Amino acid sequence: MRTPSAPPVSRRPRSDYIGAAGFFAVLFGLAAALYAATMQVDYVWRWNRIPQYFAYQQRTELRAEADGEIEAVAARGDRRLITVKSDAGVHLFDAPAEGVRVAPGESVYAGDLLAVEEHWRPGLLMQGLWLTIQVSLIATLFGVVIGLFAGIARVAKNPFFRWSALTYVELIRGSPLLVQIFIWYFVLGTLFNSILAKNGLNQIPPLWYGVAAMATFAGAYVAEIVRAGIQSIHRGQNEAARSLGMSYPQAMIHVILPQAIRRILPPLAGEFVSLIKDSSLLGIIAIRELTKATREIVTVSLQAFEMWFICALLYLILTFSLSLCVKYLERRMVV
C-alpha cells in the first residue's frame, strides 16, 4: 500500500553541488594566489585611501581682510552672516553655523580665521566616470541617428544612398578606432580649429572630436545592425503595405521599422556596451574619462592594484546596468 506522502521535492543532483563548490574554490583560490603574489613583492594594499578619489571634503577658510572688530553674527537659517567693521570699511562673510569661529565684539587682526566651510567635492574618479557616461550617452545618441539613416540607406534602391552608406560602413569598420580618434583629433581637429581661429572664432575642445569619432564609429556598426533588422522582416510585410497604397517611406515608418526595432534592440545593446568600453581610448587625446583619470590617480597615489580593479569594476557597473535596462525594454516590447 502506498501511503500519502508530502509532494515530491525536486532534488538537485549531487554533481550540481560539487560543481558549485569547485567554482567557488577556484574563485577564492585565484584571489588568494593573487594576494599571496602581492605579498611576495611587498605590495601594501591601502583600500582606505580609495574613497577620497570618489569624493572628498574641501575646506575653505574665511579670514579677516583688515584689522577690525566683529560687529555682528546674524542668523539666517543654517547660515551665519558675519559683519566685520574696520578702518577699510564694513565686510560681510557668509558661513555655515557650525563653522563660525568668532563671536560679536571680538577684535580681529588681518588674516585671523573667522570661519571654516567644508564642501563635498567629487573626486577624480567620479569626474572621470561622469565624463565617460556623458561621452557614451552623446555618442550613442548620435550613433543611433547616423546608424539609422545609414542602415536605411544601405537597403535603398538609389545607388547614391546605397553606395554612400556602404563606403561609410566599410571605411569605418575597416580601420582601428584608435587611428580614427587620431584622425579626428590631429587631422580634422587641426583643420577645423585652424580655420575657426583664422576667422576669429572659438576653438572646439578635444572632447567633441572624441565624441565625433565615437559616434561615427558606432554609427557604422549600428547601420549594419539596422540593415540586418530591416532585411529580417518578411518581404510580404512590405508587399502588404505597398499594396495598400503606402509609399516606401510610409511602409518603412509604419510597418517595417517598428517590427525591425524589436530585433535590433539586443545587438544594439551589445554595440553600446562596446562603445562604453571603447571610450577608454579617448584618454589619448587628453579627455580625462574614467581610464585616464585612473591613470592619473595611479601616478599620484602609487596604488596601482586597487585603482585598476576599481576602474574595471566601475566599467562593469555601467555596462551591466545598461544590459539590465535593455532586457527590461525588450520584455516591455514583446507583444
Partner 1 sequence: MIAVRNLFKTFWQPHRVDALVDVSLSIAAGEVVVVIGPSGSGKSTLLRCLNRLETADAGHVFIDGVDVLDPKTDINRVRAEVGMVFQSFNLFPHKKVLDNITLAQRVVRRRSKAEALRKAEALLAKVGMPEKAASYPDQLSGGQQQRVAIARALAMDPKVMLFDEPTSALDPEMIGEVLEVMKALAREGMTMVCVTHEMGFAREVADRVVFMDGGAIVETGTPEHFFVNPEHGRTKLFLSQILK
Task: Point out which residues bind partner 1 (CB under 8 A).
Answer: 234, 236-237, 239-247, 250, 254-255, 258-259, 262, 335
Cβ atoms within 10 Å, residue 310: 19
Alpha carbon 95 to chain centroid distance?
35
Residue type (1 letter), 323 = S
**Least CB distance to partner 1 at residue 255 (A):** 6
**Least CB distance to partner 1 at residue 256 (A):** 10
**Least CB distance to partner 1 at residue 235 (A):** 9
Cβ closest to partner 1, residue 242 vs residue 295: 242
Could you please report the per-residue DSSP string of 208-222?
HHHHHHHHHHHHHHH
Cβ closest to partner 1, residue 60 vs residue 243: 243
Distance from C-alpha of 324 to C-alpha of 261, rounded to nearest angstrom: 18
Half-sphere exposure of 127 (CA within 13 A, CB side): 15
Distance from C-alpha of 42 to C-alpha of 29, rounded to nearest angstrom: 20
**Least CB distance to partner 1 at residue 230 (A):** 14
Distance from C-alpha of 78 to C-alpha of 120, rounded to nearest angstrom: 17
In DSSP terms, 140 is beta-bridged to none
Cβ closest to partner 1, residue 201 vs residue 240: 240
Distance from C-alpha of 321 to C-alpha of 137, rounded to nearest angstrom: 14
Cβ closest to partner 1, residue 76 vs residue 235: 235
**Least CB distance to partner 1 at residue 245 (A):** 3
Cβ closest to partner 1, residue 51 vs residue 258: 258
